[in-house]
Amino acid sequence: MSDCFWAEPWAGRALLLPLDDVDTDQIIPARYLKGTARDGLGVHLFADWHHGPDGAPRSDFALADVAPGAARILVAGRNFGCGSSREHAPWALADFGLRAIVARSFADIFRGNALKNGLLPIGLDAEPWTVLVRRLTLEPELELEVDLASQVIRFGSRRAAFPIDPFARQCLLEGVDELGFLLSREPEIAEYERAHLTSGDGG
Amino acid sequence: MPADRARRPRTLLGKIWDQHLVTAETPATPAVLYVDLHLVHEVTSPQAFTALEARGLRVRRPDRTIATADHSVPTAPGTHSRALPIADPAAALQVERLEANCRRHGVPLYGRGDDRQGIVHVIAPELGATQPGMTVVCGDSHTSTHGALGALGFGIGTSEVGHVLATQCLLQRRPRSMEVQIEGAIGPGVTAKDVILAVVARLGVGGGAGHVFEYRGSAVRAMAVEQRLTLCNMSIEAGARAGLVAPDDVTFQFLAGKPATPRGRAWDDAVARWSRLPSDADAEFDRSVTLSVDDLRPMITFGMTPAMAIPIDRPVPLPAAAATVEERRALAQAVAYMAIEPGKPLLGQPVNVVFLGSCTNSRLSDLRAAAALMGGRRVAPNVRMVVVPGSQQVKRDAEAEGLHEIFLRAGAEWREPGCSMCIAMNGDELAPGQYAVSTSNRNFEGRQGRGGRTFLASPVTAAAAAVAGCLTDPRGYLGATR
Ligand code: SF4
């Protein structure tokens, strides 16, 4: 992201989906993966939890009546984003207006994909997570403040720290472009190839 | 202290990692890791090519890139020919885009009409493109499959596909290592699929997060490469980025003479190099688990994660007996979605569809195992059985030994290679409410079609279910006269 969105703390409403093991097939079902562009996927976010197999809306789904852009944060349980590596999952979440996912933990590939799309994975320990979920259950309008520079979120009088890879943090805060970073390593890459790939085999 | 590091005992993961460092990681920046082999398919690559071209970049190493069309291609008999347009316009466009991108960038494409086309994780080992000690990546989480040959294979997102296309490198932190020690000998009717389902059930879907597995132990050594591919394939279902098996003579025999492997002197050199890859005897792993498989029974999943797996004759767990609130809720959701009765085994549960295919279980030995059980028997009248070989090569080999005739005579469908009902993108899918026994790797809600209900199992268990019309212990069919 090249904007300065992350430079200052920001606040937003949160959607509560405190389930474990939400896989990327649920976030965006495979039939929406046939496109060749990355935008416009927000309307298909959690498509099969919004609508049953018969196409009828499922009113029991926690996010049933939530419009895109209504919230900037999603609160989920453990191992969020497991399964398929499809980057369509963070594309859909971001296209829906989300900028952060608060969860107990994240699947590895999803975490990386999210960070590359300006979607911050915030992993919380059990205690603050439980407090947050309880607060949001009682008070769905509660706003969360996300402070990436200090690596904390704040809600009500609470403050909870979260870990983030220093490089990922720097990329968001300073708008560092990972591909640009890699391209700037061209001399080292060329040198590596000269030294290691003489026989054209597996390194 | 590089000298110190060289002397320190290293794991297979550590050796491969060190060999691919373009620049080492620091607290502030990840490592720049060189990629030996980049596999590309139609679903996760178009946006990466678009991003590449938007910056005026070219594919840096087309000679280290291989593409295929597998996820959205049709598998109905005869549809492999390019003469026949793909009926679904979106899928047709995606495949066309892949073809155009590969043409423009000189990337070899084993696509429609090519006699080496197939599921990306089936064809690369088959071509000998995956070799011990390599780093292999693909915009696909089951890239873990390639670890069966002693290569570090892991899935990446589309942004990273773009990074690799442009630079042949990735920014990565070194994952932790986890030894998965599998000891003992599996009995008849029990397969590598049952072993990996037991591993996933034991560790949970997130249990391997942040780690690369190394499968070790007597049971792994006894497996052929195709079984090791099944094992490593599902590492991601336990949350691990990759799974590895140290290369040995079984690996070398598998690779010898494959189209992309070296010949003559170069082969001998390669084997010598590969033989140095196994973890040093005193190498330390960050974590370790041990599993005995002497008494392992055929496994089946009952819920919507691959970790919800049980021996086929054991009762489905009771939600009320779960240890935690979360677990209780997940179990309750699972039995509700699957419409099954907890506290009882699944034996006798009627099924509508049996799917034999996917990068987990669509290789020749999988088809042989299923055919051996099905020969002379018929698919039950209430069951549709869909057999989708993993590649054109597997299809040819299977047809050469008449396996297709066994399936066809039994009343099963014999289709063209592709991902098919594993991901249900190409129209091969379950109807809402249908039950499937599937040899694939994911039983997520709706994965095989909206409202579909999936039981993951081995090819042997799947074949037995096809014949019986319901879930059954395949061991009852072994060696029985028919
Ligand atoms: S067969 Fe299934 S799991 Fe394997 S690559 Fe295809 S869609 Fe993915």
Ligand 1 centre to CA of B119 (Å) is 7
Q: Cβ(B359) to ligand 1 under 6 A?
A: yes
- End-to-end Cα, chain B, rounded Å: 67
The predicted structure's pLDDT at residue B129: 98
Extended beta strands in B206-331, E state: 211-216, 242-245, 287-292, 299-301, 309-311
Q: Which amino acid is at A60?
A: D
Question: Has residue B3 got a pLDDT over 90?
Answer: no
Give B82's pLDDT tier (boundaries 50, 70, 90).
confident
Give B6's pLDDT tier (boundaries 50, 70, 90).
low
Find out whether B250 and B225 touch, Cβ atoms under 8 Å: yes
Q: Which of B20, B22, B210 sits opposite A108 (nearest CB)?
A: B210
Find out whether B77 and B164 touch, Cβ atoms under 8 Å: no
- The interface pTM score, or ipTM, of the predicted complex is 0.95
State how far the alpha carbon of B23 is from the alpha carbons of A66, A180, B20, B35, in Å: 45, 16, 9, 13
**b/e map of A125-161 (b: 16 or more CB within 10 Å)?**
eeebbeebbebbeeeeeebbebbbeeebbbbeeeebe
Interchain contact, B169 vs A182, CB within 8 Å: yes
How far apart (Å, rounded) are the C-alpha atoms in residues B462 and B165? 39
Give A4's pLDDT tier (boundaries 50, 70, 90).
confident
Give B124's pLDDT tier (boundaries 50, 70, 90).
very high
Contacts 24+ apart (CB under 8 A), B89-92: B90/A34, B90/A35, B91/A34, B91/B425, B91/B426
In this predicted model, what pLDDT tens digit does every residue of B294-340 receive, in sequence order? 999 999 999 999 999 999 999 999 999 999 988 999 999 999 999 99
Q: Cβ(B429) to ligand 1 under 6 A?
A: no
Find out whether B219 and B186 touch, Cβ atoms under 8 Å: yes
The predicted structure's pLDDT at residue B4: 53
Interchain contact, B205 vs A199, CB within 8 Å: no
Chain A residues with CB-CB distance to B50 below 8 A: 36-37
Give B466's pLDDT tier (boundaries 50, 70, 90).
very high
Ligand 1 centre to CA of B122 (Å) is 10
How far apart (Å, rounded) are the C-alpha atoms in residues B272 and B265? 11
**Residue B471: CA atoms inside 13 Å, Cβ hemisphere, count?**
27
Q: What's the mean pLDDT when you consider all of chain A?
A: 93
Chain B residues with CB-CB distance to A86 below 8 A: 43-44, 157
Give B481's pLDDT tier (boundaries 50, 70, 90).
very low
Give B480's pLDDT tier (boundaries 50, 70, 90).
low
Q: What is the mean pLDDT of residues B194-223?
A: 98
Question: Has residue B1 got a pLDDT over 50?
Answer: no
Nearest CA to ligand 1 atom 2: B422
Question: Has residue B2 got a pLDDT over 70?
Answer: no
How far apart (Å, rounded) are the C-alpha atoms in residues B152 and A202? 11
Question: Has residue A52 got a pLDDT over 90?
Answer: no
Give B478's pLDDT tier (boundaries 50, 70, 90).
confident
**What count of residues does chain A have?**
203
The token pair that represents B325 in the structure block: 């609130």
Question: Has residue A1 got a pLDDT over 90?
Answer: no
Ligand 1 centre to CA of B426 (Å) is 12
Give A202's pLDDT tier (boundaries 50, 70, 90).
very low
Find out whether B414 and B77 touch, Cβ atoms under 8 Å: yes
Chain A residues with CB-CB distance to B93 below 8 A: 34, 36
The predicted structure's pLDDT at residue A201: 47
Of all residues in chain B, what percent carry a pLDDT higher than 90?
A: 95
Question: Has residue B482 got a pLDDT over 70?
Answer: no
In this predicted model, what pLDDT tens digit does every residue of B152-181 receive, in sequence order? 999 999 999 999 999 999 999 999 999 999
The predicted structure's pLDDT at residue A63: 86
Residue of B nearest to A111 (CA): B157
Helix axes A108-115, A166-174, angle to 10 degrees: 20
Find out whether B47 and B158 touch, Cβ atoms under 8 Å: yes
